[in-house]
Structure 1
Amino acid sequence: MTTGTPPPTQPARPRRSRVLRFLPLSIAAWLVLEIWLLTVVAGASSGLMVFLLLVGGLVLGSFVIKRAGRRAFKNLSEALQQQQSGVAPAPEAGGGSALTMLGGLLLILPGLISDLLGLLLLVPPLQKVLSRGAERAFERKVREAAAAAPGGFGDAFQQSRIHRPDGKVVQGEVIREDGPSAGPRGPGGGPDDPQLPR
């Protein structure tokens, strides 16, 4: 028996980006490469050397993360103290605490490639270049998301402004006096006469 209602349709699944599509494969290839390099080093020297490399990476990575965390906490407490005293907080001179922590995490992970990447992230000039690039990429993604999602934050901000060439926002209030009790509106007293602001 047919009821006339169409069968329910399932919503289309959003397309995955290329990065997300190949991420599991690249992680698996990275793990295989790490294990292969560790076996090559163990074959060239000894298993004790591989063990010492892994323990050294763990100790060095822990030290780096602990130091970066202390520095970030110190910068945060100084900024809060400056803000409470009414002074504008100075921008962080060193920067890169997130990249330093990521470098420490890569040092902690067992493997030679992750250790090499972690050591590279601890180099200050490379940190500055990477942080600038990440900041630009983040700003671009925010702009794209604001442009692609109508009704989002960027769209609401644009709609809240009055469309004038100079971009000025005019604050005001509209008062409507509709009904029979409204008295004369101007010199002519007609309903179509403009009303002056009060």
Structure 2
Amino acid sequence: MKKTILSLALITVFGTSAFAGPIDGEKKEVKTSESTVTWKAYKVGGSHVGNINLKSGALEFDGDKLVGGEFVVDMTTINTTDLQGDYKNKLDGHLNSDDFFSTASNPTASLVFTNVKANGKNSYEVTGDLTIKGIKAPVTFDVSVYDTKATATLKVDRTKYDVKYGSGIIGTAKDKLIYDEFDLVVDLQM
């Protein structure tokens, strides 16, 4: 009798789990030409704003719930939008140089979601691995998802990625000081 009950219990547990299988999420590719990544960096006495193009990206859903995401940014497209002419060309060149993002040797940056937690209707707290200049460090930020759109704002500490030019180091002239954190404002179309 005990063997029969044990056998039925095992069949029930293992038989049911054989049919359950893993949850297959729906991956929604991001329309890179319709999506935007805007950066804003701050310095003593001002700021600069610009864009970076997405190379690829997707959000993963289980039903209507966000469960993952992965993005690649084309760092060679980094540019300023608040300057014109020689000033713009000079800053764009400097951002691409080894002082900042070394885009010749590091043409892409990436973000891979490692944890997604719902914190309200259509709102999620996301932790992910952000890789810039080949250096990976975790970031946490909020994402809002509405139908075919998603938005997020990330605060990034550039010194974690060896982007230290003009950082608050001893000996830096106050008018040349660039704040370590910059913002990324992301608007995605799927």
Q: Please say which structure displays the higher CA radius of gyration.
A: 1
TM-score (norm 1): 0.26
The TM-score, its normalising length taken from structure 2, stands at: 0.27
| Higher RCO (C-alpha 8 Å, min separation 6) | 2
Name the structure with the higher strand share.
Answer: 2
Higher helix proportion (structure 1 or 2): 1
